[in-house]
Structure formats: structure tokens, C-alpha cells
Amino acid sequence: MTHHHPPADVLFDYAAGTLSEGEALAVAAHASLCSRCAREIAMLEAAGGSLVDVAEPMAISHGALDAVLARLDEPIVIAPRQPELDAETRRVVPKPLHAYVGRSLKELPWRTVGRMYEEVRLPLPAKGPKVSLMRLKPGTLVPRHGHRGQEWTVVLAGGYHDGGVSFTRGDFDAKDASHRHQPRVDDDGECLCLVVLDAPLKLTGTIGLFVNPFLRI
């Protein structure tokens, strides 16, 4: 059961289709594990559809019909083959992430970052937020840090504590430039998260003086 959810305005933006691809992916991953948010999104989408039904019709531009008919002659695009994922990956990774992950977790090109965690960046547009899978060992204490922008985290496996608050599978954790924190992974297993960053982290203390200039997204 999930205990932490996206803010109401984020769910609204998701239903309206105004989030970036990376942001929408985080909300979709959470909603696939949270029946409460899935219901709220469905209600918002239904409400939006009702508004479309009662909206006044608008005149289309000249040549719009010709443009649509011309597209009928375009070659058919075959959808990419579904990725082959092992049973463990399908159990842990929410379905909205399958096509982005593309292979089993054990086959991904994990990159070790500062002996703190392992990371795999997902293939999304370079101009959008950075979207990664992050894997941390049991008991890992992440250096205290702040944010230059927005950080969204969806827990996929395991859990962590942050400021006395517990986050476990399915939970959504949103931080912004007003937050400084130091999460600690639970001792009973590794933690796997989906993390969306639209700006680099900002490490505090002495370590930040040396590391911050090299942090990028």
C-alpha cells in the first residue's frame, strides 16, 4: 500500500497531458502501483472528456482535410517489439517503464556514482528532465543535499527513511529548491528508485565545495 502521492496539481497536469515525458513517466509508474491515484487520474480524464463534449465546435483551417488524407498514403509504422524482461524485472519494474528499460535489470549498464549508488539513465529526450533508475545498497546514507530544481522519486523496491518519514514501494517523493535532506536506505535490502531531475543536486558541507562544480544532469 502506498502512503505518499503526487500533489493534486501534478495529477491534474498529468491527466491534461501537460507534463514532460519524464515527469509523466514518474506519475504513470506511481499510478500503476497506487489504485487511489489511478482512480483520481481516471476521474480527471473523464471530466476533461466531458468538457470536450460540451465545447463549442471550432472551424478547422483551410486544407486540414487534405493534410489528413495525405497521411493515409504514408507507410505504416510497425510498433517496436516488446522488450524481453525476466520474471524478476517484470515483478519489480512497473509496466509503464518496460519499454524504457528495454532489458532485464541485471543486464542494464549500471554506472557506479561516487561509491554511493548505481545509476542507469533512461532514453528520454535530452532537453527534458534527467530520468534514471537508481540502485542503492542497504543502509546507504546519501550525502546531505539540496536542489537547484525539482526532484521526483518513485520507490520501485526496498525503501528509505528521510527526515523520520518512511518511503516504500510505490511511494512518490517530491522535493524542490526549498528542501535539504539526507535519505538513508533501509537495512533490510537494496533500494531501487525511479528518479526525475530537472536540475543538478546541490551537495552541502565541505564535500559540496569540491563536487558541486561537476554535478550535471
Per-residue pLDDT of 13-67, as tens digits, reads 999 999 999 999 999 999 999 999 999 999 999 987 655 555 565 555 566 556 5
Residue 38 lies in a domain: no
Quote the number of domains for the chain: 1
- Output the pLDDT for position 212: 40
Residue 40 lies in a domain: no
Residue 53 lies in a domain: no
- Output the pLDDT for position 209: 34
Per-residue pLDDT of 90-100, as tens digits, reads 999 999 999 99
**Residues 164-177, buried b or exposed e (16+ Cβ, 10 A)?**
eeebbbbbbbbbee
Task: Calculate helix-pair angle for 35-54, 8-16, nearest 10 degrees.
Answer: 50
Give the residue with greater pLDDT, 20 vs 212. Answer: 20
- Whether the pTM exceeds 0.95: the reply is no
Contact between 177 and 146 under an 8 Å Cβ cutoff? The reply is yes
Residue 39 lies in a domain: no
Range of the domain at 107: 87-214
Question: DSSP string of 140-158?
Answer: -BPPPEEESS-EEEEEEES
Residue 54 lies in a domain: no
Contact between 194 and 158 under an 8 Å Cβ cutoff? The reply is no
CATH number (domain holding residue 185)? 2.60.120.10
pLDDT band for position 208 (50/70/90)? very low
% of the chain residues with pLDDT over 90? 56
Residue 24 lies in a domain: no
Residue 52 lies in a domain: no
The answer on pLDDT for 162 being more than 60 is: yes
Lookup: cell for 16? 491534461
Residue 12 lies in a domain: no
